[in-house]
Amino acid sequence: MSDPFIALILLGLLIALLGAGVWVAMSLAIVGGVAMAAFSNAPVGPLLATTFWGHSHSWALTALPLFILMGEILLRSRLAADMFSGLAPWLGRAPGGLLHVNIFGCAIFAAVSGSSAATAATIGRMSVPELTQRSYPDSLILGTLAGSATLGLLIPPSIILIVYGVATEQSIARLFVAGILPGLMLVVLFAGYVMIRAWLSPGIIPPAERSYTFREKIHASRNLIPVALLIAGVIGSIYTGLASPTDAAALGVVLSIVLAYVAGGFNLSLMREAVISATRTSCMIAFILIGAAFLSVAMGFTGLPRNLASWISDLGLSAGALLFALTVFFVVLGCFLDGISVVVLTTSIVMPMVTAVGIDPLWFGIYLVIIVEMSQITPPVGFNLFVIQGMTGRNIFTVAAAAFPFFLLLLLGVVLITVFPEIVTALPSLMAR
């Protein structure tokens, strides 16, 4: 039986299990067990036990629940509302008006939450009522929110970059730094699109309610200081080498508690909610990672990834052709799975192919995250779409249609980092010096 056919059988089994409603982690473990039992002589039971035990205490993975907790604390604080009042005076008279608050607000919050869903929920709760009240078009309100919230996956600290780093044994600190310039590039693309729409159809953007003096803008900017301190504390400590990602995550939790308390409205009850929610999310992700680790071990014993990589090499595909095929594959897969599941499901199979054609694993991590961002606003399982639908009550197809231009902008971002890989690699190279 050929290796591609074996891979299709295992993929079919995985899809069948997921379609039957089996948990992602259990599906991964079952497929790994079947692969090992059917296509190798390795003992399934002992390897399952040792893999689950060995991967259940990863120091690098400790940063994950801490960043999730930080995001949950900020989700329940007043810092997002303060951020709106700090940004609005500066952006109100720009082409596109206060729609830019969605874009820059999501970018700033992404830099302290690490979660796409948390970014969409937090900024959406604050901006959607304000923009709707001011008669901004629904399509741009929903589109800018859905598209910009995906930045939570890319701009560090990113939960999914931690998952990728652990799964592929890449430096999480270098991955964080690599995500900065691509994240800023996407912010520029989103803001540029809104400006172009405003210039082409000036009637769709309501006029600014008032103008602010420079003194008033500076005074309003004081509301951005807490978030700026949090970003500087977390990202600055990593970039300067003063702290590891795990240490920086712990610092972020402490700073977020202090700032949320100082901002007001945060209490022990909300803290308890944040801890419980973060625990649930962290356990879910950890369980998926353990299942994925066993699948990776099983793939190693079957030799399937190595053989598939050789098969791909024999096909003579260029790096560009492989990336095109993988882009289609990941977007389709992302229509049915969440981003973290996409990463942990595919890395053990895909990485040997990627390295075989000479693609930098660090660059590939950023590429993969942008593709996963695209899947976050793609039906039927675009998580951001569901978050925004639940928050606004709009039809899921209305939200998806509004997000489609931003899907295309993310695709443009993939093209740009492919043509100009230095967008990803420049800062990590400086960090290594």
Q: Using the predicted structure, report yes or no on whether residue 102 has a pLDDT greater than 70.
A: yes
**pLDDT of 73:** 84
Kindly state whether residue 47 falls inside one of the protein's structural domains.
no
**Residues 191 and 415 sit within 8 Å (Cβ to Cβ):** no
**pLDDT of 109:** 77
Name 202's Cβ contacts closer than 8 Å, sequence gap at least 6: none
Secondary structure letter of residue 208 according to DSSP = P
- Residue ranges of alpha helices (H) inside 393-421 are 396-419
201 CB-contact burial (10 Å; exposed 0-12 / middle 13-18 / buried 19+): exposed
Local confidence band at 1 (pLDDT 50, 70, 90 cut-offs): low
- Residue ranges of alpha helices (H) inside 40-179 are 44-54, 63-75, 79-91, 99-113, 116-133, 138-149, 159-168, 172-178
Kindly state whether residue 32 falls inside one of the protein's structural domains.
no
pLDDT in tens, 232-246: 887 778 777 787 777
For residues 400 and 113, give the distance between their C-alpha atoms in angstroms, rounded to a whole number. Answer: 24
Q: What is the mean pLDDT of the chain?
A: 81
Local confidence band at 3 (pLDDT 50, 70, 90 cut-offs): low
For residues 147 and 127, give the distance between their C-alpha atoms in angstroms, rounded to a whole number. Answer: 14
Name 38's Cβ contacts closer than 8 Å, sequence gap at least 6: none
HSE on the CB side for 80, CA within 13 Å? Answer: 28
304-314 average pLDDT score: 64
Please give the tally of structural domains in the chain. Answer: 1
**pLDDT of 417:** 95
Burial code (b: 16+ CB inside 10 Å, e: under 16) for 132-147 equals eebebbebbbbbbbbb
**pLDDT of 159:** 80
Q: Using the predicted structure, report yes or no on whether residue 280 has a pLDDT greater than 80.
A: yes
Secondary structure letter of residue 190 according to DSSP = H
Sign of the alpha-carbon torsion through 269, 123, 403, 365: negative
Q: Using the predicted structure, report yes or no on whether residue 380 has a pLDDT greater than 60.
A: no
**pLDDT of 219:** 82
**Residues 63 and 162 sit within 8 Å (Cβ to Cβ):** yes
Kindly state whether residue 329 falls inside one of the protein's structural domains.
no
**pLDDT of 80:** 67
Q: Which residue has the higher pLDDT, 306 or 181?
A: 181
Read off the tokens for 302.
């079957």
**pLDDT of 186:** 94
Number of residues that make up the chain = 433
132-154 average pLDDT score: 87
Read off the tokens for 168.
């592929």
Name 141's Cβ contacts closer than 8 Å, sequence gap at least 6: 99, 102, 127, 128, 131, 132, 402
For residues 188 and 193, give the distance between their C-alpha atoms in angstroms, rounded to a whole number. Answer: 8
Kindly state whether residue 361 falls inside one of the protein's structural domains.
no
For residues 27 and 311, give the distance between their C-alpha atoms in angstroms, rounded to a whole number. Answer: 26
DSSP class per residue in 368-382: HHHHHHHHHTSSSS-
Q: Which amino acid, residue 296?
A: S
144-173 average pLDDT score: 85
Most trustworthy range by pLDDT among 149-163, 275-289, 342-356, 359-373: 359-373
Q: Which residue has the higher pLDDT, 21 or 401?
A: 401
Q: Using the predicted structure, report yes or no on whether residue 200 has a pLDDT greater than 70.
A: yes
Kindly state whether residue 45 falls inside one of the protein's structural domains.
no
Cis geometry, peptide bond prior to residue 65 (ω within 30 degrees of 0): no
SS3 assignment for 214-263: HHHHHHHHHHHHHHHHHHHHHHHHHHCCCCCHHHHHHHHHHHHHHHHHHH
Neighbours of 88 (CB within 10 A): 22
Q: Which amino acid, residue 417?
A: I
pLDDT in tens, 17-34: 877 878 777 887 888 888
Q: Using the predicted structure, report yes or no on whether residue 194 has a pLDDT greater than 80.
A: yes
Read off the tokens for 251.
């610092």
Which of 122, 131, 125 is closest to 99 using CA atoms? 131
Q: Which amino acid, residue 265?
A: G
Kindly state whether residue 75 falls inside one of the protein's structural domains.
yes
Q: Using the predicted structure, report yes or no on whether residue 261 has a pLDDT greater than 80.
A: yes
Kindly state whether residue 249 falls inside one of the protein's structural domains.
yes
Taking only Cα atoms into account, the Rg of the chain, rounded to an integer number of angstroms, comes to 22
Q: Using the predicted structure, report yes or no on whether residue 267 has a pLDDT greater than 60.
A: yes
Which structural domain, as residue segments, surrounds residue 248? Answer: 58-285+385-404+418-432
Q: Using the predicted structure, report yes or no on whether residue 193 has a pLDDT greater than 90.
A: yes
Q: Using the predicted structure, report yes or no on whether residue 335 has a pLDDT greater than 70.
A: no
Read off the tokens for 111.
């830099």
Kindly state whether residue 156 falls inside one of the protein's structural domains.
yes
308 CB-contact burial (10 Å; exposed 0-12 / middle 13-18 / buried 19+): buried
Q: Using the predicted structure, report yes or no on whether residue 421 has a pLDDT greater than 80.
A: yes
